[in-house]
Homo-oligomer: A and B are copies of this chain.
Amino acid sequence: MRLGHRPERDKRITTHVGLVARAFGAEEMILAGRDERLVSGLEDVVHRWGGEFRVRSVGSWRGEARRWKEAGGRIVHLTMYGEPISEKMDEIRSSGDLMVVVGAEKVPAEIYEMADWNVGVGNQPHSEVAALAVFMDRLWEGEELAREFSGKIEVVPSPRYKTVIERPEGEGG
């Protein structure tokens, strides 16, 4: 779940958060706040590149977080003020369904209370995009990067060239 999105200022950062969530194995992105253009931009990536990723824009992050916890899910909030990721990862990895919360510059104090873990990907200022990526890379222990997305477009890894397969409509995943 992405908090604190300001449509004009944050559109590219929030888009990167969404792309990272998808590419690193999340099932869904919840965007706190309304931004239909951003949602449809991400949906367009899913349409072309494949996978089952969903994007949902919601009015109240509190309602989402509360329902998630009532249903038995856990919440990890990524913040530079939190405990070291390396110390908490084993516990987090074995805890079942997980909602990962990333904020923008300011987040409501309440999320620190609602989260089961407040963890920092380091304690230096950097980027919610980076924090999410490193968190998920460590959560899945690198296996997320080998996932198949079965999209209409697919990259063939190459040491030197851009090699892309484009499947005609109807054949892709």
A interface residues (Cβ-Cβ under 8 A, vs B): 9-10, 12-13, 16, 19-20, 22-24, 45, 49, 80-86, 112-113, 117-118, 120-127, 129-134, 137-138, 142, 144-146, 149, 154-155, 157-164
A120 contacts which chain B residues (CB < 8 A)?
155, 157
Listed by A's residue number, 13 A-B pairs whose Cβ atoms lie within 8 Å are A10-B12, A12-B13, A13-B13, A13-B16, A20-B126, A81-B155, A83-B157, A83-B159, A84-B157, A85-B145, A127-B129, A129-B129, A129-B133
Q: How many copies does the complex hold?
A: 2
Known: A80-B155, A83-B157, A159-B83. A124 touches B149 (CB 8 A): yes
Cα A98 to Cα B23 in complex, Å, equals 26
Residue of B nearest to A164 (CB): B81
Cα A163 to Cα B112 in complex, Å, equals 12
